[in-house]
């Protein structure tokens, strides 16, 4: 077996990256220290701007669900021809996948919209009740759209198994996938892990800097760090458990 050859530039690049990151952190820290009063002020201003939208935060959510419903109906309309026409099959599969994408994005954004619409609304109970009602309606819409889309997918993929209303849905669906589909799921999961880990690492570092200068409460560092730790540990433990 040939020994792996490592280019010297790799080490130089690594050292330069560390030095640049340290320089950037130093400049950012100096700027934050010189403007300690500005950071809390900026935070209050940002919170104020976010709370102004109120219930309008739910508008993108309902637009996404509407778009998901439209592509779902277009996909279902192609199901009769999908059995004999490869073009119709591919289009139906694509449209139904887009419908599932819409439902997948709806749940986390719906909770974000709820929290943002609650900001500054303690003196407006009617707004809070309306926000909760909009979230409930969107959740029902999401679940129904998911169930209908899964049922449509089973028409073009009869081997698929799983009930959206069952807690074992994800496992049953994965078990009904063939080897190629499982490899695709693994590749997508790895990309998602890389993306989430990268975002959480940057967010945790930024929150650490803000905590040093008392711009935010330390609990936010704990929350971001715990999420990052959960992502890393779940990935590593899954890799260890899969080995013989």
DSSP H stretches of helix in the chain: 8-34, 38-52, 58-77, 79-82, 86-118, 125-156, 169-175, 179-212, 219-241
CA distance 183 to 178: 9
Confidence of residue 13 (pLDDT cuts 50, 70, 90): confident
**How high does pLDDT run on average in the chain?**
83
Q: Are 33 and 214 in contact (CB under 8 A)?
A: no
Confidence of residue 68 (pLDDT cuts 50, 70, 90): very high
Whether the predicted pLDDT of 27 surpasses 70? no
Considering the domain boundaries, does residue 137 fall inside one? yes
What is the pLDDT, as a whole number, of residue 133?
93
What is the pLDDT, as a whole number, of residue 129?
87
What is the pLDDT, as a whole number, of residue 108?
92
Considering the domain boundaries, does residue 174 fall inside one? no
Q: Are 55 and 127 in contact (CB under 8 A)?
A: yes
Considering the domain boundaries, does residue 28 fall inside one? no
Considering the domain boundaries, does residue 200 fall inside one? no
Considering the domain boundaries, does residue 198 fall inside one? no
Considering the domain boundaries, does residue 85 fall inside one? yes
Considering the domain boundaries, does residue 76 fall inside one? yes
What is the pLDDT, as a whole number, of residue 217?
78
Whether the predicted pLDDT of 1 surpasses 60? no
Stretch 198-206: mean pLDDT: 87
How many domains are contained in the chain?
A: 1
Range of the domain at 142: 54-165
Confidence of residue 211 (pLDDT cuts 50, 70, 90): confident
Of residues 209 and 3, more confidently modeled: 209
- Phi and psi dihedrals of 29, rounded to 5? -65, -40
What is the pLDDT, as a whole number, of residue 137?
96
Confidence of residue 91 (pLDDT cuts 50, 70, 90): very high
Considering the domain boundaries, does residue 156 fall inside one? yes
Q: In percent, how much of the chain has pLDDT > 70?
A: 82
Least confident of 43-47, 55-59, 116-120, 179-183: 43-47
């Amino acid at each position: 077996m040939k020994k792996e050859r490592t280019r010297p530039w790799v080490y130089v690049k690594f050292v330069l990256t560390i030095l640049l990151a340290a320089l950037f952190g130093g400049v950012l820290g100096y700027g934050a220290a010189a403007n300690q009063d500005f950071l809390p002020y900026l935070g209050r201003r940002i919170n104020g701007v976010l709370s102004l939208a109120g219930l309008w935060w739910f508008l993108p959510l309902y637009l996404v669900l509407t778009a998901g419903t439209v592509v779902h109906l277009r996909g279902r309309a192609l199901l009769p021809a999908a059995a004999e026409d490869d073009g119709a099959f591919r289009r139906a599969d694509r449209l139904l996948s887009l419908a599932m994408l819409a439902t997948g994005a709806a749940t986390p954004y719906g909770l974000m919209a709820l929290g943002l619409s609650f900001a500054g609304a303690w003196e407006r109970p009617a707004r809070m009740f309306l926000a909760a009602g909009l979230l409930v309606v969107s959740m029902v819409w999401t679940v129904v759209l998911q169930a209908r889309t899964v049922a449509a997918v089973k028409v073009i993929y009869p081997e698929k198994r799983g009930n959206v209303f069952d807690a074992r849905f994800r496992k049953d669906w994965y078990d009904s996938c063939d080897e190629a589909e499982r490899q695709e799921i693994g590749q997508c999961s790895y990309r998602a892990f890389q993306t989430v880990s990268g975002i959480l690492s940057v967010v945790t570092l930024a929150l650490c800097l803000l905590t040093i200068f008392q711009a935010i409460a330390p609990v936010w560092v704990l929350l971001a760090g715990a999420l990052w730790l959960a992502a890393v540990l779940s990935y590593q433990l899954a890799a260890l458990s899969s080995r013989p």
